[in-house]
Amino acid sequence: MTPMTEVTERAKAWKSHDPNDTTARFVQDLLNDGASSTNEKLAKLFPDGRLQFGTAGLRSRMQPGPVGMNDLVVVQTAQGLARYVIQEHKSNNDDEASSPPICAVIGYDHRSSTGESFDISSLSFAIFTALVFMEAGIKCFLMDGLVATPLVPFGVSRYVPEIMYKEQNVVSFGVMITASHNPAQDAGYKVYWTDGCQIRSPIDQGIAKSIEENLTPWTDYKKLYNDKKTEFPEDPCLGLSLPSETAKLVDAYYDAILRSGLVSGLGKSDPTSMKAVPRFCYTAMHGVGHRFAKQSFANFGLSAFVSVPEQEKPDPTFPTVVFPNPEEKGALDLAKQCARQQEPPCNIILANDPDADRLAVSEYNPETDSWNDLTGDQIGVLLGHWLWNQFSSLNDPR
């Protein structure tokens, strides 16, 4: 068998399992073409290997084939993850009949294959993940709408075991569909273990092995998806999400912050003291963070921030930045411009990455008429100092 024949066979096999009609048709068109340039494209899409699962989960370009992020790769990944979680759960429980239920928390961001019409998106990945978990007998809490990444581990470690299933000894884990601050053409798949932490070794190796053992779809997921689409034509989540539980989880998240001892109330205690509070400019970097940042400011009793209008709403094309990482050089240029235009000007810029689990800070120096972009270490020291002072004043042993 020639190398090109092997590529063709891999492409045919992949297409036969693909639950996405658009990507399957794209691959079939390439197979029908036969031109040398098309063969080169097929060879890149279907090498002898696949996208490797690690502690960061999966992250790659949205495209057909085993090395891209697409619906079939997500189905295969979800099957392997489900099998691994179930197996680990069984090994830790001698009596299967009385073992507690398993619940998966699933969140997703706004990414989609806008550069190429593949009909691939974080939403479709979340839906297929939920369908796989349900097929495996795992309870699913698919969060309704776009969410910030920190809500998933909070759901795993706090909301599901302490509120949603407080009467049961539930086992929970989480999946966040996001490529974080990667370029627009990428998508990703993060996994959070039963303790709410992102997976680490050797858990990632066990999941990777389980994925390899579960590459063939267990059922006709395309039919399941289309049936749900027919049943719930107006619902983006096809009836699989839990809107009321999502709202309760978000409320519980902010309530936990209010009860943590971190909220000093300094901004609320004396209106005149607000004069000393800096004016903040915030950018969501075309991601999901804006509404969550607004609630955070309200929690801490701070005056509303100024939002960078061009970057406020979720936009999968990230039109104003080459690389949507707030720590990248030039990423805060629009925010600095916006801050200067205010009256009086803002003197602190806060920026989240698109999935709102990374923070960048810049401070205006009037003496030099310039901005000082804080490093991650500097932000960490400031937050650590705040924690120390807050818990010391409360005589909290933590």
HSE, side-chain direction, 13 A CA sphere, residue 226: 7
Distance of CA 183 to the CA centre of its chain: 14
241 included as an active-site residue: no
SS3 359: strand
Find, among 20, 107, 9, 7, the residue nearest to 62 by Cα: 20
3-state secondary structure of 108: strand
d(CA 206, CA 194): 15
Active-site residue among 60, 121, 157, 180?
180
State how far the Cα of 189 lies from the Cα of 172, in Å rounded to an integer.
Answer: 17
The residue count of the chain comes to 398
**Residue 393 Ramachandran class (φ > 0 left, ψ -120 to 50 alpha, else beta):** alpha
Identity of residue 259: R
Q: In the structure, how many helices (H) and strands (E) does the chain have? A: 13, 10
Q: Report d(CA 351, CA 357) in Å as an integer.
A: 10
Pairing state between β 171-177 and 186-192? antiparallel
Query: Strand, coil or helix: what is 105?
Result: strand
Whether the CA torsion 279, 285, 286, 292 is positive or negative: it is negative
The two beta strands, 280-283 and 186-192, are unpaired
CA distance 26 to 138: 33
Tell me the catalytic residues. 180
